[in-house]
Copies of this chain bind each other. A is one copy, B any other.
């Protein structure tokens, strides 16, 4: 039994969204499962002194072009959300609450929320929008709201961020294959070769 591929993602990260659409199939082709880990890039930025690319005007302009282009390259829908980025701790807490019950439900939620934000501009930072999205995803809205307000799931997300930092993760998407770290959607070919056993 081979170890799962670790996949760290942030609900407000375009490259995380893009990678979320290919990582399952890629891992499955090599007999692997995926261990999804919702984190907050804001927390890793704060801890490392890094800042998001869109904080810098020139970098923002390029990044917006590259987000859409990277999605087209993968053949997946993408619509630049406005506002961007947004606070995603509530979506991430729902993820960890579901994860404690059933990892597959958490993954399904991750897909639902990432797609909602990056193809339909659904405001994951808005309580009403998030409740509605939860309902559409088959999750009771009151339970979802209770989860994101619960200190237990706030703490769980905090732990996930701390564990990520302890593992050297400072960006997303971030993959670990048999101990080897890869940062970025653009590392797909390298992740694929590593999974195929080509330890270049």
B50 contacts A56, C-beta separation under 8 Å? yes
Give CA–CA (A120, B51) in the complex, Å. Answer: 34
Chain B residues contacting A50 (CB-CB under 8 Å) are 56, 59
A186 contacts B187, C-beta separation under 8 Å? yes
Known contacts being A56-B48, A56-B49, is A62 close to B183, with CB within 8 Å? Answer: yes
Known contacts being A186-B186, A186-B187, is A200 close to B72, with CB within 8 Å? Answer: yes
Task: Tell me if A31 is interfacial: C-beta within 8 Å of chain B.
Answer: no
**Sample (25) of A-B pairs whose CB atoms are under 8 Å apart:** A48-B56, A48-B57, A48-B59, A49-B56, A50-B56, A56-B170, A58-B165, A58-B168, A58-B170, A59-B170, A61-B168, A62-B168, A62-B170, A62-B181, A62-B183, A66-B183, A69-B190, A69-B200, A72-B200, A73-B190, A73-B193, A73-B200, A184-B186, A186-B186, A186-B187
